């Protein structure tokens, strides 16, 4: 091979090596730049450039009763400190749904009686997994009777009933299991309501993919996913709950979290029309209300006698968003928990007559033992 062809071959090899190395370098640089320009949805928190009127509301316009709260250390809770926080919000009365039973319940009632007798109420909780006990019904009815005499204001049923609670054979306990009927009847006989949380948002049964608007919550809280292969369907659980409402017209039920129908207010309205013994509350579902202000305002006006104020988890600053949605006509403002809502909120600007019923008048009808002097409006 002549020197000329050897030089040409060397040049071609060198060119190929340079092109290969250059390609690798370009690819790596491109991937680094791409990675630097990408972010997880949990990191993405854009600041709105929209200039509109803003009204931060740190104190409700009228005193309110929170019918859906959880204080898990009630026997030892520093109630004067908690009352001070409540006063800053204009919360006149708090119902702690986590009263449990036995010694815990007795100590909680003692703490309230000693330190803040006019500001707190307790609900009883039952262990449904004792359902196979020979004297289950009699025991639970007696428990309800004695708890009411001690000052308990209602019965709280957790979502475990209908989802995870099982009998001695390992079978799921349905919400409308006939063995529970004496419990619902006893609540009616004692004139106390049952606040019942059944199921989860329907999205928790849907595939965990890019089309699921609760995907982020399922990523952050994977135990909330309800695999349809091993769980009863959303509609099955809800149907069991509604069957209890139907069978016990003389018992008042509070269907928690808008009955997981906050995304379909027409359906919720039909539900309330069908069951006159049912009320509902807005704990942990403000995100549904705040994204449909026109329809939600219509709904709150139409069903103004059937809706109660509830928050669920206790955090002082999160109440501000509730007040802002309910009281103002602000537009496009942030919700406090991204996994509940990656969308923005809009105010309903509810009229005073509706606000008063939502904040305290409806609850006062349900709980006449609450001191009405706490409400001056």
CA pair distance 297, 304, nearest whole angstrom: 10
Q: Do 300 and 328 form a contact (C-beta atoms < 8 A)? A: no
**Is a pLDDT exceeding 60 seen at residue 370?**
yes
Backbone angles phi, psi at 281, to 5 degrees: -145, 165
Average pLDDT over residues 86-115: 98
Using 50, 70 and 90 to split pLDDT, how confident is the model at 38?
A: confident
Residue 157: helix, strand or coil by DSSP?
strand
Predicted TM-score of the model (pTM): 0.90
Q: For residues 265, 270, 274 and 276, what is the CA-based torsion angle, rounded to 10 degrees?
A: 40
Average pLDDT over residues 14-41: 68
Mean pLDDT calculated for residue range 178-204: 98
Contacts 24+ apart (CB under 8 A), 291-299: 291/341, 291/343, 291/344, 291/345, 291/346, 292/265, 293/346, 293/347, 293/348, 295/265, 296/265, 296/348, 297/348, 297/349, 297/350, 299/265, 299/268, 299/269
- Which domains, ranges and CATH numbers included, belong to the chain? 64-374 (3.20.20.140)
What is the structure's pLDDT at 41? 77
Segment 345-369, tens digit of pLDDT: 999 999 999 999 999 999 999 999 9
List the one residue out of 57, 37, 15, 93 whose CA is nearest residue 311: 93
**What are 284-329's pLDDT values in tens digits?**
999 999 999 999 999 999 999 999 999 999 999 999 999 999 999 9
DSSP 290-305: HT-HHHHHHHHHHTTT
CA distance 46 to 23: 35
Q: Within a 10 A sphere around the Cβ of 169, how many other Cβ atoms?
A: 6
């Amino acid at each position: 091979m002549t020197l000329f062809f050897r030089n040409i071959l060397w040049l071609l090899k060198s060119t190929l090596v340079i092109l290969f190395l250059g390609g690798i370098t370009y690819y790596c640089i491109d991937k680094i730049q791409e990675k630097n320009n990408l972010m997880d949805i949990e990191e993405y928190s854009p600041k709105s450039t929209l200039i509109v009127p803003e009204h931060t509301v740190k104190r409700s316009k009228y005193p309110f009763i929170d019918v859906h709260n959880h204080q898990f250390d009630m026997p030892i809770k520093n109630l004067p400190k908690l009352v001070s926080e409540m006063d800053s919000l204009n919360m006149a009365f708090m119902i702690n749904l986590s009263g449990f039973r036995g010694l815990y319940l007795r100590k909680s009632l003692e703490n309230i009686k000693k330190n803040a007798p006019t500001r707190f109420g307790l609900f009883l909780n039952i262990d449904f997994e004792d359902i196979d006990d020979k004297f289950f019904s009699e025991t639970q009815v007696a428990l309800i009777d004695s708890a009411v005499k001690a000052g308990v204001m209602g019965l709280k049923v957790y979502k475990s009933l209908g989802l995870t609670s099982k009998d001695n054979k390992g079978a799921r306990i349905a919400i409308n299991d006939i063995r529970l009927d004496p419990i619902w009847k006893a609540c009616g006989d004692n004139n106390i309501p049952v606040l019942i949380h059944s199921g989860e948002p329907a999205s928790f049964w849907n595939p965990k993919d890019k089309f699921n608007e609760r995907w982020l919550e399922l990523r952050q809280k994977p135990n909330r996913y309800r695999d349809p292969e091993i769980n009863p369907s959303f509609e099955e659980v809800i149907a069991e709950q509604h069957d209890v409402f139907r069978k016990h017209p003389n018992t008042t039920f509070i269907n928690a979290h808008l009955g997981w129908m906050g995304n379909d207010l027409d359906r919720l309205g039909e539900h309330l029309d069908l069951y006159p013994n049912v009320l509902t509350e807005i704990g942990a579902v403000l995100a549904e209300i705040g994204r449909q202000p026109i329809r939600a305002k219509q709904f709150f006006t139409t069903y103004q006698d059937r809706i109660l104020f509830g928050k669920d988890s206790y955090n002082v600053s999160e109440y501000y968003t509730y007040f802002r949605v309910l009281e103002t006509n602000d537009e496009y403002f942030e919700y406090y928990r991204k996994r509940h809502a990656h969308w923005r909120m809009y105010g309903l600007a509810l009229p005073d007559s509706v606000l008063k019923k939502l904040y305290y008048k409806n609850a006062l009808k349900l709980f006449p033992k609450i001191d009405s002097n706490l409400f001056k409006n």
